[in-house]
Structure 1
Amino acid sequence: MALGTVLMGLYQAGETAFPIALGLIVEHTLSENRSLGSLALSIAALAVIITTVSLSWRFGMRVLQKANTTEAHRWRVRVAGRGLEPVARDFGLKSGEVLTIATEDADQTADIIEVVPLLISSLVAVAVAAVALGLADLRLGLLVIVGTAAILSVLSVMSRRIGAGTREQQARVARAGAKVADLITGLRPLHGFGGNQAAFRSYRRVSADARHQSVAVAGANGAYAGVALALNAVLAAAVTLTAGRLAFQGRIGVGELVMAVGLAQFIMEPLRLFSDMPKYVMTARASAQRMALVLDAPAVTAPGSGRPAAGGDLDVDRVRFGTLRELTFRVRAGEFVAIAGYQPRAAADLASILALNVPPEAYAGVVRLGGVPVADLSVEAVREHLLVNPYDGEIFAGTLRTNIDPAGTSRLVAEAVEASMLTDVVALHREGLDHGVRDRGANLSGGQRQRLSLARALAADAEVLVLHDPTTAVDAVTEQLVARNIARLRRGRTTLVVTSSPALLDAADRVLVLDEGVITAEDTHRNLLATDEDYYSAVAR
């Protein structure tokens, strides 16, 4: 910003110096001491001015635009990083709104990088013009200073109104974006129960609100631009007419008149830039305030700095949350354990706690990883040792390969594809793993999306893997194969599956029965089928 401000200041000073130099040349030409040497010196001075104007503009704008785009990138990364933190932050915004903040608001906030140098350079141009005119006649200099102050006073009042309208417009556009994200997420269920038209009408209302506000802001911006142009033209005309009257009265020379007319025409551009700045500042401020909602929101919980022991157990000790009541169990290192949840809500509550979607202080009891409470672990340690794969894992636009191995570092891609029975999808397309996948897996079936999500979880090769209903959308035969493959691939690695699938329950080393929020039975799947009627009724198919 500092370098760009200096260069743009040189540009505006050079632009202002051009009509001043012309006026001095005319004044000297009309004098009796004129000579060819003086003319050559004047032409050289004009060449220096033109060169300064050209180079300072070229490199000044290059510096400022690079700084602008770099800063916008940094803001986007910071907002995205905050949204990706595993510990939820309570800032009352939906994912679609966060997306708008991370893109449009980040760009508009970074525009201040260009706005401030242009504002300062425009001020330099007006100051140089006022001084030059003041040296010709004090009244001309005062006219520029007073006129500029009056223009800015009028426009500052209008810019505050634009700022308030812009904040509301950005909020409504963000709400429309959030509504779109919600509709895309729930598109298949909406089709299922015929809620398409109701959802469309709901989005149309939100979108219409955003459109009306955008039109209102555009109208205010148009009025602002029109008033600014009119006031600048009035000031330029006033300077020109005043200079003409002073020249007619003999108070200034012909060269000074040429200079005054040239400056009156020239200051139109810096005045326009100068008068546009409050509008851009208010827009950037509105965007910055929206980013602050995300960046400065207080954390629901603060992660610790500890690390679990390698190959440690997973302990759930007397946890009470939602439908869970004094839930206690242990998964020993290297063990494959399945939890049969009779109530889906209890299974979902347990998965949310293990996935850290619920902060540790929001529930009673302790969850330990490798003997260390998860509240005392760093974010990096949790990510390194524990992976919880939800039943509705997201599918991203890209390819099968980038969905299975987003970081491109897994050594188990082939094994994960085979274990999840995704081989038929890979074989179906000539591109194989490089077959394109649309956003949210729109070109895949429900079963294919679920198996792709499972393949991603297996390829991660986490020390402790928790799977929540990983086979609900696949057929019984495929489910049997997937269950056996998971047990084989995860042999020696700690695995917990929360499921009602008989195939997965049978593949586990032992089964824990979760009923009414507590563990009520523990044994192998086949022993439970033979001895527990409730279990038989709940899981037998």
Structure 2
Amino acid sequence: MPSTPQSAPYRDGPTPRQVLADAITADGRGAKLATASVGFTGHQVAEALVPVVIGAVIDRAIATSDAAALGKWILVLGILFTGLLLSWRFAARIADSVSEYGAHRLRMDIARRGLDPHGMTPRRIPGEVYAIATSDAGAVADFTHTLSTKLAAACGVLTAAVSLLVISVPLGLLVILGTPPVLILMQMVSRPLERRAETDQQQGARAGALAADLLAGLRILSGIGAGDNAARRYRTASRTSLGATLRAQRYQAMYSAANVAIAGAFLAVIAYVGGRMTAQGSISIGEFVAVVGLAQFLRGPLIDVGYFGAGLARARASANRVSALLTTERSVTAPDTPLAVCGADSLTLRQVVIAGSDPFDLDVRPGETVGLVTENSALADGLVDLLARRIEPTSGTMHLGEHRIDRLEIGDLRKHLLAAPHEAALFIGTVRDNIAALTAPGTSVDAAITASATDQVIDSLPRGLETTVTEQGNSLSGGQRQRIALARALAGQPPVLVLHNPTTAVDSVTEARIAAGIAEIRREHATLILTGSPALLAICDRVIEL
């Protein structure tokens, strides 16, 4: 399979129209979409010509008992069927390719935005981002089929109208003049579907997001006895989503029935007029057969064209959600001219305010371990987010060495200042992969494993360091995950390290060993520990209370 071209990040964020256009036309997909449309059009045109050829067989071969003419027209009919089958087959393959690569393009853009180190404000929960990257990206890209097949259906209607004009001008005019009002009426019926579709997708995404996040925290919820409450929350969201889906599907059924009724009534009029003209001798038997066949054929393309509004409604609803995610504002501002980090081995905060806190100062010098104690968990979480550059301070200044933190490129900053969150997030891979994630290839992680007491975890695992870790580390206990995450932070050996309650899931004996290990491995570097643990505070050079 050919590789997919990498798409450039959006600068100002795409509008819903740009999201839709990029999904089906970017990276050379526009030409493929045109090719698929030509193939589908060839299929529709050939299918429209089938009743015309059958009428010619009746008039020019069967009615005249001409065996040679019969053979010729059967050959024409065979070529026509071969062409319509092959054109559909290849057009469908090309359209599927456009759709799949278009969805992949959107998923990559969504992933790039979700992984942007400058964050999002307001924050999006992971389940919501996942729902947009899967169902909504697919719905936008599926507009490829809507556009190409509905365009082909319109060409099929035009071919049938021209054929009817050749057979009989009144019949042709009836189709040409009657088709636009029929299509307009179908589009009017489809308009409320867009609102239904968007509501359905929003409610479904909300339920899916909640389910994903509940499953990710299932162990914690069960441990604190909140499982029943979480289940009630999910049931409420799920029922809301089900109600929205049922309402949308109910309207979809009404819309389909209305389309069939409108198209059927129009075609009945065509067949009636054709029958009257045959009885009056205005057209031949073969031409009447062609008229009836064309009337039967027209039913499909007319309904297909009528569904264009529904397909566009669903694609636009999803494109709105994708666009809203991609245009979400950054939590922190990137510097216009980033400074190069040099000699960044200390941390200084002056008159910093986080989310309404009192202004405070903080200094962590090279080779110093500072403990910070606060009863305000929101302040502790906010400080970690602040130093990781996930949020901006309300006021105050922060320096890494001699550099203003907000003037440093965020990737470069995180190589010198690592603010490890309390949540022990692991990724799919091996234990070794998780521990060595922040180190250069070939760098030993043995010291970090010993300092974090992760050697005890490794000894208890079936394959040691090569044991596979499942998504979010759910195959491990909370204490095992916490020690592996701590080993990862220590293995990176950043000049400045911030730890937030790194030992809450281990026993007191193990905690004392970890405290001694941190003191040993960080003795030459600046370390800030946000904790209330006596064992960890005992190894600190200074303890600050906020």
TM-score (norm 2): 0.84
Deviations 1:393-417 (A, max 9, x none): 3234555345435699753455543
Superposition pairs of residues 132-531 of structure 1, within 5 angstroms: 132-181=163-212, 183-184=214-215, 187=218, 190-191=221-222, 194-304=225-335, 305-322=337-354, 323=357, 325-332=359-366, 335-345=367-377, 346-359=379-392, 362-396=393-427, 399-405=430-436, 410=441, 411-490=443-522, 494-507=526-539, 510-511=541-542, 513-516=543-546
Q: CA 1:136–1:312 in 2, change beyond 3 Å: closer, same or farther? A: same
Deviations 1:74-114 (A, max 9, x none): 21222222222232322475433222212111111111122
Aligned-pair distance for 1:320?
A: 1.8
The 3-state SS of whatever aligns with 1:357 is coil
Aligned-pair distance for 1:437?
A: 3.9
Tell me how far apart the structure 2 counterparts of residues 252 and 189 of structure 1 sit (CA, whole Å): 79
- Provide the aligned length of Structure 1 versus Structure 2: 509
Among 99, 103, 108, the residue aligned to 1:77:
108
Q: Does the Cα contact within 8 Å between 1:313 and 1:371 map onto a contact in 2?
A: no
Corresponding residue for residue 122 of structure 1: 153
Deviations 1:243-267 (A, max 9, x none): 2221221111222222222222222
Corresponding residue for residue 19 of structure 2: none
The 3-state SS of whatever aligns with 2:134 is helix
Q: Does the Cα contact within 8 Å between 1:319 and 1:325 map onto a contact in 2?
A: yes
Deviations 1:328-372 (A, max 9, x none): 42433xx3523232445444332221011222xx43222233533
Aligned-pair distance for 1:175?
A: 2.4
Tell me how far apart the structure 1 counterparts of residues 439 and 42 of structure 2 sit (CA, whole Å): 49
Tell me how far apart the structure 2 counterparts of residues 392 and 92 of structure 1 sit (CA, whole Å): 17
Tell me how far apart the structure 2 counterparts of residues 413 and 51 of structure 1 sit (CA, whole Å): 66
Unaligned runs of 5+ in 2: 1-32
Tell me how far apart the structure 2 counterparts of residues 402 and 147 of structure 1 sit (CA, whole Å): 67
Q: CA 1:330–1:406 in 2, change beyond 3 Å: closer, same or farther? A: closer
Q: Aligned AA for 2:151?
A: I
Q: Aligned AA for 2:477?
A: S
Corresponding residue for residue 522 of structure 1: none
Tell me how far apart the structure 2 counterparts of residues 515 and 137 of structure 1 sit (CA, whole Å): 94
Superposition pairs of residues 50-129 of structure 1, within 5 angstroms: 50-91=81-122, 93-129=124-160
The alignment yields a C-alpha RMSD, in angstroms, of: 2.9
Q: CA 1:490–1:311 in 2, change beyond 3 Å: closer, same or farther? A: farther
Tell me how far apart the structure 1 counterparts of residues 329 and 213 of structure 2 sit (CA, whole Å): 25
Q: CA 1:319–1:102 in 2, change beyond 3 Å: closer, same or farther? A: farther
Tell me how far apart the structure 2 counterparts of residues 237 and 245 of structure 1 sit (CA, whole Å): 12
Unaligned runs of 5+ in 1: 517-541
Corresponding residue for residue 13 of structure 1: 45
The 3-state SS of whatever aligns with 1:88 is coil
TM-score (norm 1): 0.85
Q: Aligned AA for 2:36?
A: G
The 3-state SS of whatever aligns with 1:257 is helix
Q: Does the Cα contact within 8 Å between 2:267 and 2:296 map onto a contact in 1?
A: yes
Question: Quick one: percent identity of the two aligned structures?
Answer: 33
Deviations 1:216-239 (A, max 9, x none): 111111111222223333333333
Q: Aligned AA for 2:174?
A: L
Q: CA 1:53–1:415 in 2, change beyond 3 Å: closer, same or farther? A: farther
Tell me how far apart the structure 2 counterparts of residues 415 and 250 of structure 1 sit (CA, whole Å): 99
